[in-house]
């Protein structure tokens, strides 16, 4: 039988910065049940907490559908199911291939240096506001071949979308309204690219896939919206989470300064223990059951990645940050067909930021109180740092 759980109450110690890790939010409920019932939060849902149960649901796309438009419009491939999903992923995958992402690194590193040097020179800064939030937006402009100077417009929209999305159900009027704010800009970009195609991702979407109908402007808008909304706030959170941990852990910071080759391992462990997207939703397509819990057709089922990543049945010392953890089969980027398509680009950004921050400073520490986002996002909205 399921226990009941209030994610907002459980999250309060993290949000108030009186707890160090997500064990405070999930530890108690996970001792009682792998699946919990949540009422009066995000419209009510079933929370899948254990690692094995989460993987089971993630792989069963026939019973647990991802067609739940968050902004009253579908954003493929995230918000679609097989077989359609396969065609969209095939269309997008080349733009996240190893060689393509490697070609991004010089620009990503240039942005990082341009933006981190003034903070270090100033001695103190709110790293969340001055760097972690805007930096991924500049990288997304590069991905879309949008003008670099447009990052502020897109960044402001991304912050509003994240704030509205934190506590309103999928398809709410509030979500639809904030989603519509960016439509004119994105439609102008799509139409400009139809007239002047290049080798960027928007041009590739316009070129299309033989297994998909030709994509009109509204269909393209949904995909570009997915790239923006899914690619911005999660990456900003991943950067902020690891930098926060380094600022508070002098030993870990010294370890990575002495051995930068271990930074990619630290990125993976950070995504496990401090998963930026703590949970994502599915909808049941038929009556079913999970660990004795009756799931009705139409019920929302949330995969709680943050809990699964600290499941003691799957991870030794689950709430300990272990740079050398191996294997590290975390689900911080999801699991199954909806594994984050932008994970290679997110990994690149976090790695480069940490490399440059460590290389260009002798130390950085906390300079005030941190503020964190609402569940189901784990990220910093304010991160005051002092640099040397």
pLDDT of residue 363 exceeding 80: yes
Bridge-based pairing state of the strands 300-304 and 64-65: unpaired
Count Cα atoms within 13 angstroms, Cβ side, for 289. Answer: 5
Q: What is the per-residue pLDDT for 40?
A: 86
Ranges of H-type helices in the chain: 7-15, 23-32, 51-59, 84-92, 98-122, 127, 134-144, 151-165, 173-181, 183-195, 201-207, 217-248, 250-258, 263-273, 305-308, 343-359
Chain-wide mean pLDDT for the chain?
92
Contacts 24+ apart (CB under 8 A), 172-178: 175/70, 175/71, 175/72, 176/71, 176/72, 178/71
Phi, then psi, of 336 in degrees rounded to 5: 85, -155
Confidence label for 171 from pLDDT (cuts 50, 70 and 90): low
Bridge-based pairing state of the strands 3-4 and 35-38: parallel
Lowest mean pLDDT among 121-125, 225-229, 362-366: 225-229
Instruction: Give the CA-trace dihedral at 243, 249, 253, 259, to 10 degrees.
Output: -120
Q: What is the per-residue pLDDT for 283?
A: 96
344: left (phi over 0), alpha (psi -120 to 50) or beta: alpha
Q: What is the per-residue pLDDT for 74?
A: 79
Exposure class string for 253-288: b at 16+ Cβ within 10 A, else e: beebeeeeeebbbbbbbbbbbbbbbbbbbbbbbeeb
d(CA 284, CA 298): 5
Confidence label for 164 from pLDDT (cuts 50, 70 and 90): low
Q: Which helix (H) or strand (E) holds 124?
A: strand 124-126
Share of the chain above pLDDT 70, in %: 97
Q: What is the per-residue pLDDT for 169?
A: 62
SS3 379: coil
d(CA 315, CA 139): 33
d(CA 325, CA 315): 9
pLDDT of residue 206 exceeding 70: yes
Give residue-wise pLDDT tens across range 283-342: 999 999 998 899 999 999 999 999 999 999 999 999 999 999 999 999 999 999 999 999
pLDDT of residue 158 exceeding 80: no
Confidence label for 177 from pLDDT (cuts 50, 70 and 90): confident
Contacts of 49 (CB under 8 A, 6+ apart): 26, 29, 30, 33, 34, 35, 36, 304, 307, 308, 311
Give residue-wise pLDDT tens across range 88-115: 999 999 999 999 999 999 999 999 999 9
Confidence label for 170 from pLDDT (cuts 50, 70 and 90): low
Helices 134-144 and 98-122, interaxial angle, to 10°? Answer: 150
Give residue-wise pLDDT tens across range 3-48: 899 999 999 999 989 998 999 999 999 988 999 999 988 889 999 9
Q: What is the per-residue pLDDT for 286?
A: 98
Nearest Cα to Cα of residue 54 among 330, 352, 355, 262: 330
Q: Evaluate whether 50 touches 292 at the Cβ level (below 8 Å).
A: no
Mean pLDDT, residues 231-240 taken together = 94
pTM of the model: 0.94
Q: How many domains does the chain have?
A: 1
Q: What is the per-residue pLDDT for 165?
A: 61
What is the residue range of 233's domain? Answer: 3-387
pLDDT of residue 130 exceeding 80: yes
Give residue-wise pLDDT tens across range 70-88: 776 778 898 999 998 998 9
Which CATH number does the domain housing residue 91 bear?
Answer: 1.10.630.10
Phi, then psi, of 40 in degrees rounded to 5: 65, 20
Q: What is the per-residue pLDDT for 233?
A: 87
SS3 6: coil
């Amino acid at each position: 039988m399921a226990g009941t759980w209030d994610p907002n109450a459980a999250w309060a110690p993290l949000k108030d910065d009186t707890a160090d890790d997500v064990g405070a939010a999930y530890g108690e409920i996970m001792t009682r049940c792998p699946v919990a019932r949540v009422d009066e939060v995000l419209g009510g849902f079933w929370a899948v907490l254990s690692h094995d149960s989460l993987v089971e649901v993630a792989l069963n796309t026939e019973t647990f559908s991802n067609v739940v438009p968050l902004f009253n419009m579908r954003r493929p491939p995230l918000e679609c199911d097989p077989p359609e999903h396969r065609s969209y992923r095939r269309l997008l995958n080349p733009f996240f291939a190893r060689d393509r992402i490697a070609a991004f690194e010089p620009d990503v590193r240039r942005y990082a240096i341009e933006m981190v040097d003034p903070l270090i020179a100033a001695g103190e800064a709110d790293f969340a506001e001055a760097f972690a939030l805007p930096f991924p937006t500049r990288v997304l402009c590069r991905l879309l071949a949008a003008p670099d100077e447009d990052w502020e417009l897109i960044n402001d929209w991304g912050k509003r979308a994240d704030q509205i999305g934190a506590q309103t159900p999928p398809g709410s009027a509030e979500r639809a309204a904030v989603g519509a704010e960016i439509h004119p800009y994105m439609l102008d970009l799509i139409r400009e690219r139809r007239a002047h195609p290049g080798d960027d991702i928007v041009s590739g979407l316009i070129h299309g896939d033989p297994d998909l109908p030709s994509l009109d402007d509204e269909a393209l808008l949904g995909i570009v919206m997915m790239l923006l909304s899914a690619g911005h706030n999660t990456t900003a959170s991943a950067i902020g989470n690891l930098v926060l941990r380094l600022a508070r852990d002098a030993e870990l910071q010294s370890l990575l300064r002495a051995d930068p080759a271990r930074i990619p391992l630290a990125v993976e462990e950070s995504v496990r223990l401090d998963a930026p997207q703590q949970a994502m939703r599915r909808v049941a397509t038929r009556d079913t059951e999970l660990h004795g819990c009756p799931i009705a057709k139409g019920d929302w089922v949330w995969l709680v990645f943050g809990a699964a990543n600290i499941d003691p049945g799957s991870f030794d010392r689950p709430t300990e940050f272990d740079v050398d953890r191996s294997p590290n089969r975390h689900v911080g980027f999801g699991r199954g067909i909806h594994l984050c398509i932008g994970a290679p680009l997110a990994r690149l950004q976090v790695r480069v930021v940490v490399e440059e921050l460590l290389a260009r400073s002798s130390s950085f520490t906390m300079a005030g109180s941190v503020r964190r986002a609402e569940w189901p996002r784990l990220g910093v909205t304010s991160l005051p740092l002092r640099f040397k």
